[in-house]
Amino acid sequence: MSRCRKSIGAIFLVLVTALVTFLVTDYFSIVLPGGKVIVSRREFAQYQQAAKLLAIKDILTQRYVDKVNPQVLMDGAYKGMASSLNDPYTVYMTPDEYKSFMEQTVGSYAGIGIVVSADKDGNLVVVSPIDKDTPGAKAGLKTNDKILEVNGHKVSGKDMDKAVSLMKGPAGTYVNITVLKVGETKPVTIRIKREVITLKTVSGEMMENKIGYIRISMFDEHTYDQFKSELDKLNNEGMKALILDLRDNPGGLLEISAKVADTLLPKGIIVYTEDRYGKKEYTYSDAKYLGKPLAVLVNGGSASASEILTGAIKDHKVGTVIGTKTFGKGIVQTMAEFNDGSALKYTVSKYYTPDGYNIQGKGIMPDIVVQLPAGYNSITVPKDKDTQLKKAIEVLSSRIKG
């Protein structure tokens, strides 16, 4: 008998012996190499599952045709467990993958500067470039383009973190992205030079009729401070109304989005979440707010935290939403970090707008639907052809004069 068989047999014998005790009590003892332990009914089930996992690992490391890295096997098991939920937002990340993931919320990294997600069919799609000057935007990647391969590795919505990791790398190096462009039938491979992506997420300017304009490209740790700075600057210049541009904003930190919302909303609910047990948690705005005519620009690339902000503005009726239907991500993720630097990102709750609307898979319809001219997106469209921006100026100008 091989050592592998002896190991599996020993585990089986221990579990069978323990099962006899299990039939007469909720607690029993089992003898393991390290000594005797007392376990509960629930713990016993966990020991059974762990024993099977270790047995499979033992077989593959000792008997598989090629040499196997045990850590690769365990990472695969953890990833498989998370992916079995068919939730593209629930993923296990190795230490390197987690480090890369966290870079998106704290400042800068080297890559191509796009945000990706999974569509309803499990494809990996571009939500939006982070900024018009990123390598991805300059290479022509646009919302809903399907990414099929990264450097020859097939990718999908089920392994988006792997795809993101492959797209990143040292500044100055190149990555090959095979993409099926929207409206095309044949994929193309684009060679893109990686750059250091500095996340300046807010820009602003004063437009005609003293209408202020602020664009937020995503919500990271610095977004609120940048937003408040731009808003104060515009107010000091005599701003009479505000256009908030959330087009192609893929989201980010919910708490930062809520801080921006608090600046724009009167006292009331900004958003609330509900978990599997029906527990609700509310985020509120105070009584101090902008109090000026407001228009919000959105499109299919406006997702997650940007939809929270849009939904709150719409439900409180303090602004007019203009553009096209938003992406439709209405679920919240949290992180479980492990001592080895790895982490599990998992969906923990659903979020709802103040009126109780969950946008998951549905999105938010604008108050006024306006399409951009064919061939343009919110990043590439010139101001003189930006029909959505023009409509916002028109709406706000009439309110200022009124």
Provide the residue range defining the domain that includes 50: 3-68
The answer as to whether 78 is a domain residue is no
Please check the confidence at residue 12 and state whether its pLDDT lies above 60.
no
> Are residue 235 and residue 331 in the same domain, yes or no?
yes
Whether residues 315 and 272 fall in one domain: yes
Looking from the CA of 298 toward its CB, the CA atoms found within 13 Å total 33
Please return the burial class of 272, using the count of CB atoms within 10 Å of its CB with bins 0-12, 13-18 and 19+.
middle
Q: Under 8 Å CB-to-CB from 63, ≥6 apart: which residues?
A: 2, 4
The pLDDT, as a whole number, for residue 18 is: 47
The pLDDT score that the predictor gives to residue 15 is: 47
Same domain flag for 174 and 251: no
Helix (H) or strand (E) holding 277: none
| 85, part of any domain | no
**Percent with pLDDT over 90 in the chain:** 58
| Rounded CA separation 100/104 (Å) | 7
**Tokens 């690769």 appear where?**
72
- Mean of per-residue pLDDT scores for the chain: 87
Q: pLDDT: is 319 or 101 the higher one?
A: 319
Q: What is the pLDDT of residues 18-60, one digit of tens each?
A: 444 444 455 555 555 556 666 566 666 777 777 888 888 889 8
Domain end, chosen from 197, 223, 256, is at 197
Q: Which residues belong to the active site? A: 304, 315, 329
Sort strands 35-40 and 91-93 into parallel, antiparallel or unpaired.
unpaired
Say how far apart CA 159 and CA 151 lie, in whole Å. Answer: 15
What's 337's domain CATH number? 3.90.226.10
Supply the DSSP symbol for 180. E
Domain boundary among 162, 197, 232: 197
Following DSSP, what letter does each residue of 260-274 receive, concatenated? HHHHHS-SEEEEEEE
In one-letter notation, the amino acid at residue 183 is: G
Pick from 15-24, 105-114, 250-259, 346-355: least confident: 15-24
299 and 359 together in one domain: yes
CA separation for the pair 50, 45 (Å, rounded): 9
pLDDT digits (tens, 9 = 90+) for 234-267: 999 999 999 999 999 999 889 999 999 999 999 9
Same domain, 23 and 117: no
- What is the pLDDT averaged over residues 360-365? 94
33 and 151 assigned to the same domain? no
86 lies in some domain: no
pLDDT of amino acid 188: 94
DSSP assignments along 370-399, one per residue: -PPPTT--TTT--GGG-HHHHHHHHHHHHH
Phi then psi for residue 175, to 5 deg, are -135, 140
CATH number at residue 142: 2.30.42.10
257 and 373 co-located in one domain: yes
Residue 74 counted as domain residue: no
pLDDT of residue 380: 79
Looking at the structure, do residues 151 and 233 belong to the same domain, yes or no?
no
The model's confidence at residue 222, banded by pLDDT at 50, 70 and 90, is: confident
Pairing of the two strands 268-274 and 343-352: antiparallel
The mean-pLDDT minimum among 118-127, 200-209, 298-307 falls in: 118-127
Q: Which range among 81-90, 125-134, 188-197 shows the weakest confidence by mean pLDDT? A: 125-134
**98 with 173, same domain?**
yes
DSSP 5-47: HHHHHHHHHHHHHHHHHHTT-SEEEEEETTEEEEEEHHHHHHH
CA dist 57 and 71 (Å) reads 10
Q: Decide: pTM greater than 0.75.
A: no
Q: Which of 83-97, 263-277, 308-322, 343-357 has the lowest mean pLDDT?
A: 83-97
> Under 8 Å CB-to-CB from 315, ≥6 apart: which residues?
353, 354, 355, 357
Please say if the pLDDT value at position 223 is more than 50: yes
In a domain? residue 76: no
Shared domain for 246 and 123, answered yes or no, is: no
Which alpha helices (DSSP H) does 202-283 contain, by range?
A: 223-236, 254-264
Confidence of residue 97 (pLDDT cuts 50, 70, 90): confident
Task: Give ∠ CA 328-164-155 in degrees, rounded to 5.
Answer: 85
End of a domain among 180, 197, 214? 197
From the list 391, 386, 368, 367, the residue with the least C-alpha distance to 376 is: 386
Domain count, the chain: 3
Reading phi first (left if > 0) and then psi (alpha if -120 to 50, else beta), residue 281 is in beta
**SS3 of the chain: helix, strand, coil, percent, to 5:** 35, 30, 35
Same domain, 119 and 206: no
Same-domain pairing of 208 and 222:
yes
